[in-house]
Amino acid sequence: MPIVPKYVQIYNKILNKIENAEYSHKIPSENQLTQDFNCSRVTIRSALALLKEDKVIYSVKGEGNFINRNKSSSSTGIEVNSSLFTSSCNVTVDSNDIAMKCNDGTAYSKKVFGNTKRYGSFNVWFKHNDQVIGNEFSIITDAALPDGFEKYDKVALKHFISHKIYQNAAHIQVNMQQSLRKANTFHHKFFSNDDVVMLIEENLNNKEGQTFAQNKYYIPLKYLLVKLNKYGNSLSQ
Q: What is the mean pLDDT of residues 107-134?
A: 93
Concatenated DSSP letters for the chain?
-PPPPHHHHHHHHHHHHHHTTSS-SBPPPHHHHHHHHT--HHHHHHHHHHHHHTTSEEEETTTEEEE--------------S-HHHHTBSS---EEEEEEEEEE--HHHHHHHSS-SEEEEEEEEEEETTEEEEEEEEEEEGGGSPTTGGG--HHHHHHHHHTGGGGG-SEEEEEEEE----GGGSSS--S-TTS-EEEEEEEEE-TTS-EEEEEEEEEEGGGB--------GGGG-
Mean pLDDT of the chain: 88
Domain residue ranges in the chain: 6-67, 84-223
pLDDT surpasses 80 at 233: no
Q: Is 227 exposed, middle or buried (0-12, 13-18, 19+ CB in 10 A)?
A: exposed
Query: How far is CA 224 from its chain centroid?
Result: 17
Between CA 75 and CA 96 the distance in angstroms is 29
115 pLDDT band, cuts 50/70/90, is: confident
pTM of the model: 0.80
156-170 pLDDT, tens per residue? 999 999 999 998 899
Q: Enumerate residues 6+ apart whose C-beta is below 8 A from 56.
A: 15, 18, 67, 68, 111
Q: Which CATH architecture has domain 84-223?
A: 3-Layer(aba) Sandwich (3.40)
Query: How far is CA 73 from its chain centroid?
Result: 16
What is 6-67's CATH topology? Arc Repressor Mutant, subunit A (1.10.10)
Which has the minimum average pLDDT: 28-32, 183-187, 197-201, 229-233?
229-233
